[in-house]
Chains A and B, each alone.
Chain A
């Protein structure tokens, strides 16, 4: 009766299907059921639309606050949407204080992660020095690649990328001749992380004029 192998020891007051399985009945029943479920889903969707958007905006806001210095504008309003040379969508949130660009939060990504896409929010000073970062989304191996959330912030050996400038230091893993220690047993995730940082940095630098000009207006 069912592919799940249930032992139906329960009492059965069998009154299933008092309605005939005629085509008309079947069509009508399914139509009514899907119509009701569609309506209720639409209702819940409407109800949760705002809280979902608010939760997403809050997460973004929190990440921006974490990765750039103090600002007085609303970076989410001044966002510049760009495409990197690799074709990834990049969002740059300029942080300004008294109309002066104090830093940018760059939402960057790469598809070179061990489990696919890795999305980061990286904060750069106007000269390109990394202020801080936050991992937004990844599908790396738990316990290995997932360590990237803290690893590249920890001041131990050559782990940390904070305060470094991708323009002047070689931000690749030491195995590839760079200056950064990779996460133990997660070189691919480390490479992906640094790749996303590089993409963010390059996209920011290529469009720096445009972003700074925005400040003058």
Chain B
């Protein structure tokens, strides 16, 4: 398969958030600011790439009946590694994402890619797939985080754009996440059809 196509499908055609509507828990939970969205997206990307790499390597030696537990162990290992590394080297980001990092284990996208792609494709293609899917997820989370941060608290990446008092608080809260996501999906759908 064309590697570029394999990479770019994660951004638009098969974007996890905007098209497949997967991984909604972290999507709605952490995107109250752009930087949180980006951090979560990059952490997921790391897990996706590493899990895809390992799973495509070991796919031939795993009996079919235990493949899901085997995949989950691999994924959980990388998530725990990310958690410890974050806690050690970017404690500020860990403080705001802490609760959601362990949840990457049960993120549908990671297991989904392992099962649907890495367990059937070569190592190279799996890494590219993980990178594309992960960065597409990171892009979606950053976009959603930017919109919510801008509308809700008048800031973008913590830089003040307009006074916070004029912000619509609802966008920082959970209902605002649904509203913002809904409109973004509608816009992207429209763009795809056009």
Contact = CB atoms under 8 A, between A and B. Distances in A.
Nearest to A5: B20
Interface stretch (B37-45, B61-69, B184-192): B61-69
Given A30-B70, A141-B173, A144-B169, A51 B65 contact: no
Give the bracket for the number of chain B residues in contact with chain A. 35 or more
B102 interface: no
A4 B111 contact: yes
Contacts of B6: 10
Q: Is the interface of A mostly helix, strand, loop or mixed?
A: loop
B161 interface: no
B123 interface: no
A9 to B, nearest CB: 9
B173 A142 contact: yes
Contact of B64 (A6, A16, A55, A142): A16
Interface string B45-85: 00000000000001111111111011001101100110011
A32 B109 CA distance: 25
Contact of B120 (A10, A21, A51, A52): A10
Interface residues of A, number: 42
Q: Is the interface of B mostly helix, strand, loop or mixed?
A: helix
Contacts of B59: 15-16
A59 B90 CA distance: 12
Given A4-B115, A48-B85, 10 more contacts: A3-B108, A4-B116, A7-B14, A10-B120, A16-B67, A29-B62, A44-B81, A48-B84, A55-B87, A142-B32
9 interchain residue pairs of minimum CB distance? A17-B64, A51-B88, A37-B77, A48-B88, A4-B112, A21-B63, A21-B65, A143-B172, A55-B91
Interface of B: 1, 6, 14, 20, 22, 32, 58-67, 69-70, 73-74, 76-77, 80-81, 84-85, 87-89, 91, 108-109, 111-112, 115-117, 119-122, 129, 152-153, 167, 169, 172-173
